[in-house]
Amino acid sequence: MKPKIAAGILAVVGIVAMANPGILGVRAGQDDSTDLKTHTATGCLMKSPVTNTYTITDENGKLWDLRSDSVPLNAHVGHTVTVSGTIPKQPKDSTDTSPQNHLVVTKLEMVRDSCKQP
């Protein structure tokens, strides 16, 4: 193949890849440290003894460990809420085999301004 044609093809492929990163199997802004699927839980929001950490037990009895840099969780302690967010991925060298229950909250909707605390 002539060098000018090969360079032209590479330039076109590069432009297409930059315009549509998904074409090469890469998502723009993708962070490998989180599960991009959104998870939702509804229950009574409680303050955890760990600083800036909260908990909620959903309607299936699963206890979620909640954190957020963008949603003011403290203002809703003692309320029944629905939270949505992503689960941080386990480090590759982690030996923890327990189910993931950590949720980085990106959205909170108040259901009731009170709840029964477990």
Does the structure show a pLDDT above 60 at 90?
A: yes
Domain-located, residue 76? yes
pLDDT score of 45: 95
Backbone dihedral region for residue 5 (phi beyond 0: left; psi -120 to 50: alpha; all else: beta): alpha
Number of domains in the chain: 2
pLDDT score of 118: 57
pLDDT score of 36: 66
79, 49, 75: which is closest to 65 by C-alpha?
A: 49
pLDDT band at residue 42, thresholds of 50, 70 and 90?
Answer: very high
Residue 86 belongs to domain spanning:
31-112
Q: Which residues contact 51 (CB under 8 A, 6 or more apart)?
A: none
Greater model confidence, 39 or 89: 39
Domain-located, residue 117? no
Domain-located, residue 118? no
Domain-located, residue 61? yes
pLDDT score of 46: 94
Strands of the 80-88 sheet, one edge to the other: 34-44, 80-88, 102-112, 63-67, 54-57, 46-47
